[in-house]
Amino acid sequence: MAESPAINHAPVLRDEVVRYLSARFLDPPDGSGGVLVDGTVGLGGHAEALLQALPGVRLVGIDRDSQALKRTRQRLAADEKRVTLLYGSYADLERLLDGLGIGRIDGLLLDLGISSLQLDDAHRGFSFRSDGPLDMRMDPEQGMSAAEWIATAPQTEIADVLATYGEERYARRIARAIDEARHRGPICMTRALVEIVRAAVPASYRHGRLDPATRTFQAIRIRINGELDALRTGLRAGFARLDVGGVLVAISFHSLEDRIVKRFLAERAAACACPPELPECVCDKQIEAEILTRRPVTPRSTEVAVNPRARSAKLRAARKVV
């Protein structure tokens, strides 16, 4: 049986991920004895490339999506002795690694956002381009669906979520329209939400570069899955587990994620954490990290041409020094 297109799909910035994480293993160059963690293993594209590049490394893959893990297990079957796949969130990294008896790791990859498998399956409710149940959970077996949240959240909370997580300029207008619509009946399908949003915004906004529903869907997805809190927790836990010389790589797809990653790495690369108003440093802070990407690494035009979803990706990497 041929593999599905989703499994064959190349991961974003694959070569760059391999280059930064392989740099940890200059001696020996094959990664013998090393442990890499792919905290968002998804369909296993990055994991497969890392296993091929580093034949001596052990890889731990974590994902909240049980459907993705089933496909990834098939994809990585040839390297099953070197691979451990875990169902869970990278926010629980410490507990998951403790369960495997792993102390220090040599590298951590976080490829944020949603996978092609999730986006292309209308029944998951992530995409506004095809109609399906309004779910949006990365883990369909846990938590509240988007439809349930929309049905119960106060109008002010909906507006705040759209403004904060979607940076949506018409957040209050859209929230008011959602509130009015749900009084007429439940909002259970993605197409229904799209139509509410499009009717709520000015006509000029409907014909811009982005579909007017883009930011609303992004914001609700982030809220439903607790993505930004998980990112902050996962960055702290992952960096704490890195051995000296270990590398952290994060790929973000929108400004909120990138801002969190950038700030986290900058804080650990700084020599001082004192407030700027102090005339001199009194904190005795150590430099914990060396930033390997002075500017975020973005996909080449050739990659974007093949995979348009890669166009907003930004990769940042840092090495732990103490």
pLDDT score at 59? 98
Residues 100 and 175 in one domain: no
Going by C-alpha positions, the residue among 16, 92, 7, 3 that lies closest to residue 310 is 16
| Residue 255 shares a structural domain with residue 106 | yes
Task: Determine how many CB atoms are found less than 10 A away from the CB of residue 101.
Answer: 6
- pLDDT reported for residue 128: 85
Domain co-membership, 216 together with 153: yes
Q: Which domain holds residue 161?
A: 123-225
The two tokens of residue 249 are: 């790589």
Separation between Cα atoms, residue 6 and residue 309, nearest integer Å: 13
Q: Which one of 225, 245, 269 terminates a domain?
A: 225
Whether 168 and 303 share a structural domain: no
Do 176 and 48 lie in a common domain? no
Tokens of 53: 């590049």
Q: What span, in angstroms and rounded, lies between the C-alpha atoms of 12 and 300?
A: 10
Q: What is the pTM for the complete model shown?
A: 0.92
Q: Could you give the number of structural domains in the chain? A: 2
CATH number of the domain that residue 60 is part of: 3.40.50.150
What is the reported pLDDT for 45?
95
Same domain as 109, residue 18 = yes
Q: What is the pLDDT of residue 71?
A: 93
User: Going residue by residue through the chain (322 aa), what tens digit of pLDDT does each one get?
Assistant: 334 444 556 899 999 999 999 999 988 899 999 999 999 999 999 999 999 999 999 999 999 998 899 999 999 999 999 999 999 999 999 999 999 999 999 999 999 988 777 777 888 988 888 899 999 999 888 899 999 999 999 999 999 999 999 999 999 999 999 999 999 999 999 999 999 999 999 998 887 778 999 999 999 999 999 999 999 999 999 999 999 999 999 999 999 999 999 999 999 999 888 888 888 888 888 999 999 999 999 999 999 999 888 999 999 999 999 9
Torsion 47-16-296-319 (CA) sign: positive
Residue 242, beta-bridge partner list: 105
- Token code pair at residue 13: 């910035």
First CA to last CA distance, the chain: 49
Q: Are residues 192 and 53 in the same domain?
A: no
User: For residue 180, what are the CA distances in angstroms to 153, 166, 174, 201?
Assistant: 13, 21, 10, 14
Same domain for 192 and 69: no
pLDDT on residue 2 = 38
The last residue of a domain, from among 210, 225, 240: 225
Q: Which helix (H) or strand (E) element contains residue 243?
A: strand 242-252
Check whether residue 87 and residue 236 sit in a common domain. yes
Domain end position, chosen among 225, 246, 277: 225
- CA triplet 137, 139, 142: central angle to 5 degrees? 90
Whether residues 111 and 254 share a domain: the answer is: yes
Whether residues 113 and 245 share a domain: the answer is: yes
CB 241 within 8 A of CB 94: yes
307, 285: one domain = yes
Give me the CATH number covering residue 183.
1.10.150.170
Quote the CA–CA distance of 109 and 18 in Å, as a whole number: 10
| Six-digit token string for 1 | 């049986």
Please state whether beta strands 314-320 and 242-252 pair in parallel, antiparallel, or not at all (unpaired): antiparallel
